[in-house]
Amino acid sequence: MGVINVTPDSFSDGGRFLDARAATAQGRRLAAEGAAILDVGGESTRPGAEPVAADQERERVVPVIAALAADGVARLSVDTSKVEVARAALDAGAGLVNDVTAFRSAPDLAGLVADRGAECCLMHMQGEPRTMQRDPRYDDVVAEVKAFLEARLAFAVGEGVAEERVLLDPGIGFGKTIDHNLELLRRLGEIVALGRPVVVGTSRKSFLGRLTGRGVDERVPGTIASSLIAFQAGATVLRVHDVAPVRDALLVAAAVRSGAHGPR
């Protein structure tokens, strides 16, 4: 899953793709590099980020999704928690709603996903973006994230979303310390055991900077390592800004696992 942030303030690429043409070009580049899914977002969720009004978020993402849908080169996902934005994105050609609040901020979003037969990604977050990194605490982070995802999956199914249309994400960096992130990656198999496809997004995140001493643009090796570890533990969707290097790493790992490889 390649990330396209149509925002002025995203933590790693804020401002680079605020213009619809630049964002669309980035989407085409990521698809050409091998992204199967493109995740288009119009509101940053970085720690301390300020909320964006629905109209503005919609104006940011819809032209980009419409242009990429016309290409037909990748499945399209909208990274939003708002019903109005998701509806417009689905109308424009998105097929997946990636909600970092797992339908908590807009419970009606579940009904929309159900009515449209869309897929959704439900992510764990403790707190909300503005304050989530102020002293997050858990007794057992993996058990709590797992119980949360199980409950949100049950909620979505109760609202009419087909279970096989739901992906789950432990929410690396969302209300978590470096130790919480490492434990989630180390014990990711427990989340995979829920039986739904698991999405993991470590791309360029600050815990990689803490581990390596690298700035946000220098965290590709850390992103590759953590994405591979997640893949080995059973994650099937890796949400990254740098598709080409992660794709190569995953191809090698998949070939070692299966013994099968293409004619490249």
Q: Name the segment binding ligand HH2 (CB under 6 A); options: 104-112, 142-150, 165-173, 221-229.
A: 165-173
Site size toward ligand HH2, by CB under 6 A? 21
**What tokens does 74 get?**
């990748």
Least distance from C-beta 199 to ligand HH2, angstroms? 5
Among 40, 123, 168, 233, binds ligand HH2 (CB under 6 A): 123
Considering beta carbons, is residue 226 or 261 the nearer one to ligand HH2?
Answer: 226
Least distance from C-beta 66 to ligand HH2, angstroms? 20
The residues in 178-237 that bind ligand HH2, with binding defined as CB under 6 A, are 199, 201
DSSP tag of 169 = E
**What are the catalytic residues?**
205, 239
Among 92, 97, 133, 169, binds ligand HH2 (CB under 6 A): 169
Cα atoms in the Cβ-side hemisphere of radius 13 Å centred on 186: 9
Among 239, 242, 246, 247, binds ligand HH2 (CB under 6 A): 239
DSSP state string for 70-132 = HHTSSEEEEE-S-HHHHHHHHHHT--EEEETTTTSS-THHHHHHHHHT-EEEEE--SS-TTTT
Among 6, 23, 38, 41, binds ligand HH2 (CB under 6 A): 41
Alpha-carbon gap, residue 64 to 69, rounded angstroms: 8
Least distance from C-beta 46 to ligand HH2, angstroms? 3
Among 24, 26, 45, 81, binds ligand HH2 (CB under 6 A): 45
**Across the beta sheet with 119-123, what order do the strands follow?**
2-5, 37-41, 75-79, 96-99, 119-123, 166-169
Alpha-carbon gap, residue 16 to 195, rounded angstroms: 37
Binding site for ligand HH2 (CB under 6 A): 3, 5, 7, 10-12, 41, 44-46, 79, 98, 100, 121, 123, 169, 171-172, 199, 201, 239
